[in-house]
Structure 1
């Protein structure tokens, strides 16, 4: 029987994970939900939560209290979905996009996998760029160098390199090392974030906070979509990558809670804090370098711990993203070992960071547009995958790795037409209501973006409902376990 193009062995030791995308043997699935709690917590204590809160208040016009409600519903709710999808990893013992072969077919799965890889690469570019900005600012304080990226191209490339190397060390070593680093780093950088957060709270203009007028209900609904798309939705198809090592006896509710609470706690705090800052200084919403803009609010003595916390939080997020991206690259059929797939991934994000720092004129406009565009196909995948999960309790490990026509998941020419039809139609429907970008920097605007649903950011909801509903109506959820 043929397998995916991977030359990896199937063992895991204490320092280097040599397994690729093949299912984890049941005897090696000894993980517990608390491990995932730390993984999701660490991945979401980065500074990127602050600009999301700034966007809600300074750009969308919400009050701080509305922004806090949006943060809870958007981040906790979307990561609850991440937890639900991770149940599939516990059942099948394989990465999420590998399990997706059972739903879309061994060839049809290439579309969702490519979208997932693009999402991971985009987020990693955002992480790398923001972290390099933080390191540039730190160098300016310690060594007196120029903090402007375009004025110091050599130093900028060096800062990007430092972040990339630190990412590869952990992500390349793999699962066991990742779990340990994420857990203990959470305490270190979490404590730094608390210190910085307390200092930032002291700068808040509480009169401006109290005087703010609440935004319309539709704006709040739209904000929930922005936060969901910018937090949990982007992680949903990577959630099984870590849960595949969970013990078979772990309860589904524990997996959901570990993701929702692990990510929700830091995100709600950071997004709410970003909203507080923006209430007194709306200009933060227009900052080209949010790291420097927020640092400028702090007293001089707090700048160093702030920048270290920012850098560390982004690094923890990137560890998990690059690890998943490596597995996604293997699922696409790249013939290499997992650790080399990680190196290929960071090489792409290295180039992306150079572009945004040394060539492009803006950063957060493309960031918001990127979130909006990729949220649609990823949400469509989630809709189909969750409906499939409702009826599927078993994944055939051998069939997942068999790319020939003899595979149980070959279906029709390697494609599962019901799943692919539902996915593609839902994507088309979602984009009809989607606007990517803001203000004068709009990349894409669907023909129905001006309707109530479009203006309130509900394109992703329409996508989710359409994908799951069409797949169920076509009978995919009832026929996925038919043997050949």
Structure 2
């Protein structure tokens, strides 16, 4: 216990893995979730998302801002709701998921979640390396070469490893103070980017159809909050049970929604006059070209810092998810394995792949479906007042309370598979019209064309699980691991 308490100090290595946090080691407040999700979303990757709304979906600026508002605030409110499980159970999201899917049945959702995290980290690492390359050229006049690419990747990965390896307490501290610093620097950069907007084209742009607005909301939600939905509990697990759930949800929605609304809206403004940003293979260079030359250094520092804030969170969650998969290593070593894969992915994107955002969009499209299916099931299960048995979560043997049928909770696993199938029927993943990776038979219907396969996966998963696993009476052996009154309050917060 003393080791656990020591590891909760800023600057010390967190020794706790995925085992539930006991009540006497809980600390913090809901406001920490504001800084957590603000940090995850101050990277300039939000600009190309906004540019896509105008360049490819035909929205005007007012529609793009509405889409950004609903897509970002709404999807991260969902992240907040899912984080309530972490507050109740004290464990990472995919560890708690064992209670829903069974010790073996949880392997599928956990593997998909881990792939999602590694993919996000690779995208972020690649973009940060582009920023470092541009910074070196600006300051020292050094041109890009393969060796320099590798060095820039390693520098960013080393910074990520330092923060993620230390763990939760250090991450929470850095989220607040570094985010303030890089956030202010981003505001300065944003001020100069606004000055480059072609306002005549912005004001004269016609409105897009309602279907494009709906599809845009889905695109922003899938590219932002849905990608983090299976990680929210990872950061809420240290919070005391007494923290009001409504505050946690609000903090999550506003923490991510504020920077995303600004960045996505600005990307839309910039793309209204010039679609270069939406199609750039190197988004950092594209944005840099819109700024005065003397602003390049502050901009590139802000870009690097913002990407680092997002990446250390993703890497931390990926380490926990890897352990949940059954990799028996200490948490810091799991993080180390993860950054190695991140490095290899960065090498692929920067030295082998010819297109950056094509694979990015395809990756988001495909993984959003199984993650969304998981979200729908967990929402229903959490809404029923799920309480967690700490010992059973960590017991992967046949005697575990969460072993169910041969390690599978059949209603949840069947609902997840069904939801994935339905979602993919309406999904197309492609890098271009001539490079289609996957296309479901209904991908060109209204729902499919507007990219709502992930939304159908949520609805199908929730409905199939609700019908397939009807709620029965609570049994006497259910562990009373909630505070008095927590069960009633939590159900109200989840359904609100």
Does TM, scored on the shorter chain, surpass 0.5?
A: yes
Are 2:454 and 1:457 aligned? no
Within 5 A, what are the aligned runs for 1:237-316?
A: 237-316=230-309
Which residue is 1:81 aligned to?
78
The 5-angstrom pairing of residues 39-78 of structure 1 reads 39-78=36-75
| Conserved 8 A contact 2:8-2:168 | no
Say whether 1:397 aligns with 2:390. yes
Q: Is the 8 A contact 1:392 1:481 kept in 2?
A: no
Find 1:165's aligned residue among 158, 166, 175.
158
Choose 305-314 or 277-286, whichever is displaced more. Answer: 277-286
Alpha-carbon separation, structure 1, partners of 2:42 and 2:474: 38
Instruction: Give a deviation string over 1:60-118, Cα, whole Å, max 9, x none.
Output: 11111111110011111000000000000000000000000000001110000000000
Match of 2:399 in 1: 406
Instruction: Say whether the 8 Å CA contact 1:79–1:263 is kept in structure 2.
Output: yes
State the partner residue of 1:467.
461
| Distance in structure 2 (CA, Å) of the matches to 1:476 and 1:41 | 37
Match of 1:142 among 131, 139, 142: 139
Tell me the distance in 1 between the aligned counterparts of 2:292 and 2:475. Answer: 61
Matches of 2:100 and 2:474 in 1, distance apart? 7
* Contact 2:101–2:408 under 8 Å retained in 1: yes
Residue 114 of structure 1 corresponds to which residue in structure 2?
111
Residue 379 of structure 2 is matched in structure 1 by 386
For 1:483 and 1:218, the matched residues in 2 are separated by 50
Q: Whole-Å Cα distance in 2 between the matches of residues 106 and 482 of structure 1? A: 22
Q: How many angstroms does 1:482 deviate by?
A: 8.5
Aligned residues: 473
Q: CA RMSD in A?
A: 1.4
Alpha-carbon distance in 2 for matches of 1:312, 1:260 = 22
**Structure 1 runs not aligned, ≥5 long:** 1-8
Q: Distance in 1 between matches of 2:225 and 2:472?
A: 28
- Report if aligned partners of 1:419, 1:476 keep a CA contact under 8 Å in 2: no
- Number of the residue aligned with 1:35: 32
Counterpart Cα distance in 2 of 1:480 and 1:470:
21
- Structure 2 stretches lacking a partner, 5+ long: 479-496
Instruction: Describe the shift of the 1:481–1:138 C-alpha distance in structure 2 as closer, same or farther (beyond 3 A).
Output: farther
Supply the distance in 2 between the matched residues of 1:421 and 1:139 (Cα, whole angstroms): 52
**Which residue in 1 is equivalent to 2:333?**
340
Query: Is 2:114–2:322's contact at 8 Å kept on the other side of the alignment?
Result: yes
Q: Does 1:97 align with 2:94?
A: yes
Inter-CA distance 357–482: structure 2 relative to 1 (3 Å threshold): farther
TM-score by length of 2: 0.93
Alignment of 1:398-437 (within 5 A): 398-437=391-430
Secondary structure of the 2:339 match is helix
Q: What's the offset of the Cα at 1:476?
A: 5.0
Q: What's the CA shift string for 1:166-218, capped at 9, x where partnerless?
A: 00000000000000111101111000100000000000000000111111100
TM-score, structure 1 as length reference: 0.96
SS of the equivalent of 1:436 reads strand
Is 2:213 aligned against 1:220? yes
Match of 1:127 in 2: 124
Superposition deviation, residue 335 in structure 1 = 1.1
Distance 1:480 1:105, change over 3 A: farther
Shift of 1:481: 6.5
Picking from 198, 205, 217, the partner of 2:198 is 205
* 2:440 alignment counterpart: 446
Distance 1:237 1:267 in 2: 19
Cα distance in 1 for partners of 2:179, 2:280 equals: 28
Find the aligned partners of 1:337 and 1:30 in 2 and give their Cα distance: 23
Secondary structure in 1 matching 2:170: helix
